[in-house]
């Protein structure tokens, strides 16, 4: 996820302080990974340097002065271009799991057990996501669906690999 573009997009609704940006980010996108304040301020500093935001106001606070940021026309253009650009699909051609299966076979370890253990972990995570989905709002349900669909694809791969272990072992063993 592009944190900079996300913060710029949040600024399109109006100027905000870094604290408000962090809260909005966490509410909409940070369910599993809340943003750290340091990330917000370092990102805003970079966006300011690149002319994508400007300081709209500086207000005194109990601690340091509070800056309120506003998106510039260049920032709006940058967000529009980012939103219009399709994301590159990630094919996972060199996954860690595939590497582990091949190395297990090459070293005469139990690759079937490795696949079973991984399958159990996937199913555990899927149960948790399904429960989260039941209690979540629409955004949370969609995020969980995305993750569940990827995990289902992984499970299909685990089953296919388990069915082909003997052939794979013959191909990778010296």
Q: What is the pLDDT of residues 63-103, one digit of tens each?
A: 777 899 999 999 999 999 999 988 887 777 668 889 899 99
Confidence of residue 23 (pLDDT cuts 50, 70, 90): very high
Query: Which H helix or E strand runs over 48?
Result: helix 37-49
Q: State the average pLDDT for the chain.
A: 91
Query: Above 80 in pLDDT, residue 163?
Result: yes
The bridge status of strand 16-17 relative to strand 53-59 is unpaired
The reported pLDDT for the residue numbered 93 is: 62
Q: Residue 96: how many CA atoms within 13 Å on its side-chain side?
A: 1
The reported pLDDT for the residue numbered 141 is: 94
Pull the structure tokens for residue 95: 């996954």
pTM of the model: 0.72
Mark residue 136 as left, alpha or beta (left: phi above 0; alpha: psi -120 to 50; beta: remaining): beta
The reported pLDDT for the residue numbered 105 is: 93
From CA 38, how far away is CA 121, in angstroms rounded?
33
pLDDT, greater one: 89 or 129: 129
69 and 17 Cβ atoms separated by less than 8 Å: yes
């Amino acid at each position: 996820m592009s944190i900079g573009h996300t913060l710029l997009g949040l600024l399109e609704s109006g100027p905000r302080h870094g604290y408000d940006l962090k809260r909005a980010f966490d509410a909409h996108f940070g369910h599993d990974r809340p943003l750290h304040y340091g990330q917000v301020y370092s990102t805003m500093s970079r966006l300011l340097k690149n002319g994508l935001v400007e300081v709209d106001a500086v207000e005194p606070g109990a601690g340091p002065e509070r800056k309120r940021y506003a998106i510039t026309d260049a920032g709006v253009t940058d967000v529009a271009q980012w939103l219009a650009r399709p994301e590159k699909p990630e094919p996972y051609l060199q996954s860690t799991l595939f590497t582990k299966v091949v190395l297990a076979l090459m070293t005469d370890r139990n690759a079937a057990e490795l696949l079973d253990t991984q399958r159990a972990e996937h199913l555990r995570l899927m149960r948790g996501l399904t429960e989260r989905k039941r209690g979540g709002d629409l955004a949370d349900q969609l995020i969980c669906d995305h993750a569940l669909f990827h995990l289902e694809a992984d499970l299909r791969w685990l089953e296919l690999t388990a069915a082909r272990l003997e052939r794979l072992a013959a191909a990778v063993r010296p």
